[in-house]
Structure 1
């Protein structure tokens, strides 16, 4: 099989990169990783060597290059169906795609005011207008998915799926900014934090140079 290469941004900060990293790790397929540190003088030039969009993440599979985190995850789901990156059940799969797409396109207040910073602890910060509403909506999504589809495992649809890969960066934000969660949210947070791939990403982040915009 052709080699898989995932090009990602800084482990501590690139939420878009974390999503396909978790999905690819879940497939169990061997892959090579290229980490491009953000906000360095040569960052744009390095990314341009790999990604036609000029952004990370990007995935190379043989001669094929893909970009955008959701497109990459969809490709992984099709290429490695035994990994079950989407739920088998049609209704659950449709809802999983909906909540994933909402994460992909929404929650701008949360993104802007609580940027991902896995290693930092900033309790009480980031509470700008609109953030509370984003947090409430996310918790409502988690509660709905867990109650309707969460049997058989600790994740949104029971077993790990692309939906969990997409909400993992939010989980890290909620830890960084000490966001109060209900019982369902706490249990889900803990399940995501226990993922070996997320633990590995967190450990790798410890050796990265600081990114100036997040200091």
Structure 2
């Protein structure tokens, strides 16, 4: 047997259509119940429980209990990045699900990728931060520069707290619809939280869509200009 990571095992876990649907549903960042995930996968609750047990055992999910209810969420940002990368690969290869009409355009414009902003507005933010010198690629590592730190602080993001946490501050995530990068990591999560706090944007609770208000869109475009 060859040595090294067994990617076939992880690929098999993700590759089952029902399990893939469950994992995609969890990309909204919300913790979901067995019944909710069963509905997403189009299977019975008993079958869904079996699938969730395998995903949990494979380290892809994290179960949580609250009172009598049990919820599931993605195990980490790393799992979300792998899923988004696979979505990009599938989209680039022409493997697309049937479009859902107007909501598809909204999904491509701005959506949640686990806990950060993705879609056209997500890539615009990333490109703007790079162009302004707030982010820098050091080899394959994405770094927050001194001007980026000042920029984030001016936007009332607690950079010191982010740096003390175990999660990476800046990560580059390939956007499946744009095929370009958007910002992940704790900084990407913090920016999305600030947009919501300022009422620039609001998440659609039934989809992954992030809806920006007219004022929010104007403020966003001013802050993350590509000029």
Q: TM-score, normalised by structure 1?
A: 0.27
Q: TM-score, normalised by structure 2?
A: 0.26
Task: Please state which structure has a larger fraction of its residues in strand.
Answer: 2
Identify the structure with bigger relative contact order (alpha carbons < 8 Å, sequence gap 6+): 1
